Amino acid sequence: MLLIADNLTITNRSVKQALDDMAPEPIRELVRECEAAGAGAIDINPGPLGRDAGSRMAFLVETVQAETSLPLVIDTAEPRAMEAGLRACRNRAVINGFSLEPAKRDAMLALAAECDAEVICYLLRPDSQVPAGVDERLQVACDVFAAARAAGIEQERLIIDPIIVPVSWQDGASRNRELLSVIRQLPDVLGLPVRTIAGLSNLTAGAGPQEQKLLLERASLCMLAGAGLSMVLMNILHQETVRTARACSALTQPGVFVWEEL
Amino acid sequence: MLLIADNLTITNRSVKQALDDMAPEPIRELVRECEAAGAGAIDINPGPLGRDAGSRMAFLVETVQAETSLPLVIDTAEPRAMEAGLRACRNRAVINGFSLEPAKRDAMLALAAECDAEVICYLLRPDSQVPAGVDERLQVACDVFAAARAAGIEQERLIIDPIIVPVSWQDGASRNRELLSVIRQLPDVLGLPVRTIAGLSNLTAGAGPQEQKLLLERASLCMLAGAGLSMVLMNILHQETVRTARACSALTQPGVFVWEEL
C-alpha cells in the first residue's frame, strides 16, 4: 500500500503561514519530516488560492521537489492552479481529482491528457453527492472510466477514490462498509486491475476525541487494505497509523513474511 | 463482534498450577479479570487431561461458572473431557470444536446433539490439514454442515472457524487472505446467515517480537471484521486489541455512531 502524506495542506497552520510569506524553508522542513516518516508520495493541497492561484501553486510544487524526488499529488479543484502545478512538476504527477461534475470534468481531463498525468477519480454523482449504495458507486466508476477514455486517457492512469464519508453521518458506518464491496468488485466490473485510494481523515471529520479518531482510522484502514486498497491519503506523522499500514502490507502482499519489515 | 477470552488455557502457567492443585481461587481471579477486560464468553482449554480428564474439566467449568454467568466454550479434542465439561455447564455451552476427522467427528456431533450445544466447526480436511484455496474451504464448510444436519443438529447452532494459519508459514499471508473471501462467501454458499470465529493468536504462533505480533493481530482482526467475522478468540488482556475490536464493531454494526462506545 502506498502511503501519501496529506500534511502539506492549508489547514496546517505552518503551511498557511509559509504560503502567505512565500517562505520555502518551513515547507521543505515539513517535506523532510514526511519523507522520514514513510511517505511514498506528497499531496499538495493549498486550499483556495485566490488571484495568484497559478504562481502560488507553482511555488509550492517547486519548493517540494527541491527537497524530495517523491511523486507529487496536485490537490486542487481549481483548473488554473492544477495547470500551474502540473507544469511545475518535473515528473509525472497525479491529479487530485476528477469527478463527473460538469463544470470541472472537461478541464481536468484535458489537463490530464495534455500533461500525461495520473488521475484520482472520485466516485461522486455529477451533482457532487455521494452515490447511494454499491451498485450506484460501481455505475459511477463505469461512467468515470468512459469519460476518461473519451478524453484519450489510458485506463492504467486512473485511480479510483470511492469516497469515505464521516462516520458521524447518520448512516456513515454502513456507507463506508459499502466501500469494501466497491473496492473488491471494481476489477471485475471494469475488467482490469484498478488502483484505489482513500482519504483516511474524512472518516473522522468533525468533532471527536483525537485518540479515538486515530483508533477508528486505523481500524478502517485495515478493513480497506483487506478489501484491496492500493493507496491511502493520510497524516503521515501519525506513527501508529503508519505502523498499522505496514502491518496491512505484510498481511496482503505476496512473498515471505519477515518480522523486520514491520 | 463477540470477544471470547482464550486466557483460561493450560499454556498460562498460573492456570496449569491451579489445575495441578485443583485450586479454584486463581481460576476465579483470572475469570474476573477477563470479564472486567471485556470478555463476552470464556474459552476453557485445559490441554491434555490424562486419566482424570472428566473430573478435571468438570472442576474447571464449575469453578468458572461460580464466578461468572458468561457463556462458556469447552475447548478440548478429547470426547470424555468434552462430555464432562458440557454436563457441568448450567447454560448452553459451545463445543470447540468439531472437524471432519473421522476418529472424532461422530463423538463430538453426538455430544452436541445430546447436550444441545453450539458447535465450532473447523474448516479442515478429514486428515486435519488446512484446505488449499477458497473453493476447497467452502467445500469443507458444505461437508461440515451436511455432517451436522445428518446428526440432527440445527444449522443455527454451528459456528465456522476457517482456521487462521501462522503468518510465518511460507504462504501464510496469502492463505489468511483467502479467509476473507471464505467469510464473505459462506452465507451465499450455505444459503443462510453463518456465524464465524477466528483464533487470533494462531496468526503469530512461533517466534517473533511481542509488540509486532500484537500489531499484526490487530490489523488481521480488522480485516476479518471487515469481511464479516462474528466472534474472535483472543487474549482479552491485550487492551489495545480489545479497543481495536470495539472500533471494528463501531464500523460494522448498524445504527448511529457514538464516540463514547469506543
Q: How many CB atoms lie within 10 A of CB B12?
A: 16
pLDDT at B41 over 90: yes
Among residues B68, B61, B67, the alpha carbon closest in space to that of B40 is found at: B68
pLDDT at B255 over 90: no
* pTM confidence score: 0.96
pLDDT at A82 over 90: yes
Confidence bin at B260 (pLDDT 50/70/90): confident
Touching check for B205 and chain A: CB below 8 Å?
no
| pLDDT score of B90 | 96
| Three-class secondary structure assignment of chain A | CEEEEEEEECCCHHHHHHHHHCCHHHHHHHHHHHHHHCCCEEEEECCCCHHHHHHHHHHHHHHHHHHCCCCEEEECCCHHHHHHHHHHCCCCCEEEEECCCHHHHHHHHHHHHHHCCEEEEECCCCCCCCCCCHHHHHHHHHHHHHHHHHCCCCHHHEEEECCCCCCCCCCHHHHHHHHHHHHHHHHHHHCCCCEEEEEHHHHHCCCCCHHHHHHHHHHHHHHHHHHCCCEEEECCCCHHHHHHHHHHHHHHCCCCCCHHHC
A221 interaction partners in chain B (CB closer than 8 Å)? 222
CB A224 within 8 A of CB A195: no
Touching check for A225 and chain B: CB below 8 Å?
yes
pLDDT at B154 over 80: yes
Among residues B230, B167, B226, the alpha carbon closest in space to that of B194 is found at: B230
Span B36-65, mean pLDDT?
91
Cα(B97)–Cα(B2) distance, rounded to whole angstroms?
17
Touching check for A24 and chain B: CB below 8 Å?
no
B209 interaction partners in chain A (CB closer than 8 Å)? 259
CB B210 within 8 A of CB B238: no
Would you tell me which residues 120-179 of chain A have a C-beta closer than 8 angstroms to some C-beta of chain B? 167-168, 170, 172-174, 176-177
| pLDDT score of B22 | 93
For B55-81, the pLDDT digits (tens) are 889 999 999 999 999 999 999 999 999
Span B194-207, mean pLDDT?
96
| pLDDT score of A128 | 94
Q: Do A223 and B223 touch (CB under 8 A)?
A: yes
Confidence bin at A144 (pLDDT 50/70/90): very high
pLDDT at B49 over 80: no
Touching check for A214 and chain B: CB below 8 Å?
no
Touching check for A115 and chain B: CB below 8 Å?
no
- Residues ≥6 apart with Cβ < 8 Å to B247: A212, A215, A216, A218, A219, B222, B262
Span B195-217, mean pLDDT?
96
CB contacts < 8 A (A, B): 108
| pLDDT score of B84 | 95
Looking at the DSSP bridge assignments, the partners of residue B199 are B233
| pLDDT score of B261 | 82
A252 CA: distance to closest CA in chain B (Å): 6
| pLDDT score of A170 | 87
Confidence bin at A253 (pLDDT 50/70/90): confident
Confidence bin at B179 (pLDDT 50/70/90): very high
pLDDT at B262 over 90: no
B243 interaction partners in chain A (CB closer than 8 Å)? 215
Hey, which CATH number is domain B92-261, 3.40.50.620, 3.20.20.20, 3.40.190.10, 1.10.390.10? 3.20.20.20
For A198-241, the pLDDT digits (tens) are 999 999 999 999 999 999 999 999 999 999 999 999 999 999 99
Confidence bin at A47 (pLDDT 50/70/90): confident
Cα(A189)–Cα(A180) distance, rounded to whole angstroms?
14
Domain ranges of chain B: 1-74, 92-261
All three cell numbers of A102, joined, read 460538469
Cα(B64)–Cα(B20) distance, rounded to whole angstroms?
16
| pLDDT score of A177 | 96
- The long-range contacts involving B124-128, CB below 8 angstroms and separated by at least 24 positions, are B124/B99, B124/B100, B124/B163, B125/B100, B126/B99, B126/B100, B126/B101, B126/B102, B127/B101, B128/B99, B128/B101
A113 CA: distance to closest CA in chain B (Å): 37
| pLDDT score of A236 | 98
Minimal Cβ distance to B177: which of A176, A243, A252: A252
Nearest CA in chain B to A256: B170
CB B238 within 8 A of CB B7: no
Confidence bin at A255 (pLDDT 50/70/90): confident
| Average pLDDT score over chain B | 95
A27 by Cβ neighbours in 10 Å (0-12 / 13-18 / 19+) ranks as buried
Touching check for B247 and chain A: CB below 8 Å?
yes
Cα(A169)–Cα(A203) distance, rounded to whole angstroms?
10
pLDDT at B121 over 90: yes
Which range, of A83-92, B89-98, B112-121, B168-177, averages the lowest pLDDT? Answer: B168-177
pLDDT at A257 over 90: no
| pLDDT score of B50 | 76
| Average pLDDT score over chain A | 95
Cα(A239)–Cα(B182) distance, rounded to whole angstroms?
32
Distance of CA B227 to the CA centre of its chain: 17
Complex ipTM value: 0.96
